[in-house]
């Protein structure tokens, strides 16, 4: 009997670990401004003509929006995810390019 139960439990545990690492998600709180920006992006993406939207809340925090057309967006993130990569170098190089282009335009004038 034990030879059947132990492998079955290990299999269930392995399935749970795979689900947890790949599919399990939690809500990400966003601000009202971010929800409105997402709604405007939705309107532009699908050419939605709706005039109204409402915030979707979970445990008192805004986690998404619901459009008048019925579209609903909930901001979610996987429970297991890598930290966002730092892009400080690229931003600095972008600022350097911006500064050099400004300097060039000033020198031309
Ligand atoms: Zn819509």
Length of the chain: 109
Whether residue 48 is contained in a domain is answered as yes
Going from the Cα of 71 to the center of ligand 1, the distance in angstroms, rounded, reads 5
Q: Is residue 93 part of a domain?
A: no
Q: Does the residue 29 lie in any domain?
A: yes
The strand pairing partners of 74, in sequence order, are 64
Mean pLDDT of all residues in 81-105: 59
Q: What is the pLDDT of residue 91?
A: 53
Question: Domain count of the chain?
Answer: 1
Report CA(103)–ligand 1 centroid distance (Å).
44
* CA gap 49, 43 in Å, rounded: 7
> 51 CA to middle of ligand 1, Å?
8
In a domain, 105, yes or no: no
Percent residues over pLDDT 90 in the chain: 59
Half-sphere exposure for 35 (CA within 13 Å, toward CB) = 23
Percent of the chain with pLDDT over 70: 74
Domain encompassing residue 55 = 23-82
Residue 69 is predicted with a pLDDT of 94
Distance 57 CA to ligand 1 centre (A): 18
pTM: 0.59
């Amino acid at each position: 009997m034990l030879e059947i139960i132990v492998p079955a439990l290990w299999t269930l545990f392995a399935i749970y670990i795979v689900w947890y690492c790949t599919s399990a998600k939690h809500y990400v709180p966003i601000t009202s401004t971010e929800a409105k920006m997402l709604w405007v992006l939705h309107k532009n993406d699908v050419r939605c003509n709706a005039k109204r939207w409402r915030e979707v809340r979970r445990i008192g925090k805004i986690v998404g929006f619901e459009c008048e057309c019925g579209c609903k967006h909930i901001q979610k993130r996987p429970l297991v995810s890598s930290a966002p990569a730092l892009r400080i170098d690229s931003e600095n190089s972008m600022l350097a390019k911006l500064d050099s282009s400004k300097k060039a335009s000033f020198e031309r004038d």
